[in-house]
Structures are given as C-alpha cells and as structure tokens.
Amino acid sequence: MTLTVAVVQLTAGQDGETNTRAAVEHVRGAARAGAQLVVLPEYSGGWAPRLSADLAQPADGPFHRAMSAVAAECAVDLVVGSMEPADGAGGRCVNVALAFGPDGRQRGRYEKVHLFDAFGVRESDVLDAGAPGAHQALVLDVAGVRVGVATCYDLRFPESFRVLVDAGAQVLVVMAAWADGPGKADQLEVLVRARAIENTAYLALASQHGSGRTGRSQVVDPLGRQLAVAQEGDAVLLVDLDEELVADVRGKIPSLEHRRYTVVPRD
C-alpha cells in the first residue's frame, strides 16, 4: 500500500481571511499534484509573534468551514493546525489539529499536549494544554495506512510518539510553527529524524516559514533518511510513502517489540 502525502510549507499572519484563502489554494494545488493526504502547519488559521485570543478560529467559523469544504471539493484527507476558543469563559484557547476526510466531515481532533514555554515564549499565557494519554491520540486510517498526528513542541517528547505507534501509526505527521533562533533548525532536523528512527515510521513535518519561524518542512523515512526538504518560502513536498518499507524495517529492526517500558501519563 502506498500513500501519497503532500506536506505544505506556508506562512500565516493575523488576517484570518488571507490565511484561509492561502490554505485553500495550497490544498487545491496539492490535490492537483496527486496527494491523498494533505498536511498544513500549526497555526495555519492565524499566527503572531505573541499569541492572543484574537487569533482563535471558532469551530463553526469560516476557517473550519473552508477546510471542510476544500477537503470535500478535492476528495482528500486533510490535517491542519489552528487555534480555537477553549470551553468556558476567560479568553482561553487551545492549539488544535483538525482532521477532515474526503467527504468534508471532521474525522478527529488533537489538542496540543505540550505547550511551548521556552526561549522566552509562553504559549500557556493564552493556551490550555490538551489532556495527556492514549485516549487523546489521533490516529487515522488513510487509504489503508495508519497516520498519527502530533504538533510542534511534541517533537521534544518521544513518549507522545510512542502513544501513536502503540495505536498503530505507521506514518507520523507533525504540524509546526517552529520558532527560529540559533541552532533551532539543526535541532528540528535531529528531532524529526530521531522520532522516525526510534519508531520505525515515516515522519512528515509541515512547518511554517517567515519571520520568527524556521520552516524546513521535510519528510523522512523509517530509517531517518530525508526524502524531501523545503528551503525558504512557500512549498509543497509531494512524497509517496510505502507501507511495505515500514513493515520491512520493523521486521529487521524490531525495536518496538523489544521495549521494556510503557508510557504512563503524568498530570
């Protein structure tokens, strides 16, 4: 079984209408190129150097409706990152990954568990973290291939990806707006390759570019080999992922079977 994945690198700003139009056009372009699964970055609905509740897109709002509509129009599976208002008052939000099927229906959602409070950034000033644990894991069947979803800072926490592979993931997709800075691009590449190697799975990273963001969207195989890497600017990386390669690597390197520890959530 082969799955054709399109990883989209884009830049989002504070204008929701502009972000929505750009996201729709990228999905259309990826679909025309033959993608079955399209992955857009974290905060595709809105991003700013300092997050605020103004960037949140309501679940019944125009961004979500547009993502549902374009998935149905193009008959693709779509995974996209945005912010939503959290339940309750107080202006709190959640960082959410949304999965839409080829019929436009929402197939699942994942609220980012690990909030980026580092390098002077504090996502927790605006965001509530998702609950840890297997019950929150988002793993989808796309054209017969199991696809697990994670977000940005999660890359620094390998246990998040163990939960996904324990749920059957053969492909790991990560949405990011990875903060720029000294050494950050190198760290991103090492983490992407490490998560792929230790889980003997493909990893597809859709990362925002632009001021304050690293870009460097990429796809790596279960042995950590880079299959495609984006440089500067908007880009679409189209890669065929082979389910048989995952099975072959896991047969030769059965490290998942050799594990002696399980993942236990911490409050």
- Active-site residues, by number, are 42, 112, 152
From CA 115, how far away is CA 98, in angstroms rounded?
17
Specify the DSSP element, H or E, that contains 207: strand 202-207
Structure tokens at 195: 């998560």
From CA 249, how far away is CA 261, in angstroms rounded?
21
Structure tokens at 136: 């929150």
From CA 249, how far away is CA 178, in angstroms rounded?
29
211 neighbors 14 (Cβ within 8 angstroms): no
Structure tokens at 139: 């793993």
Structure tokens at 186: 């190198």
Close Cβ partners of 65 (under 8 Å, ≥ 6 residues apart): none
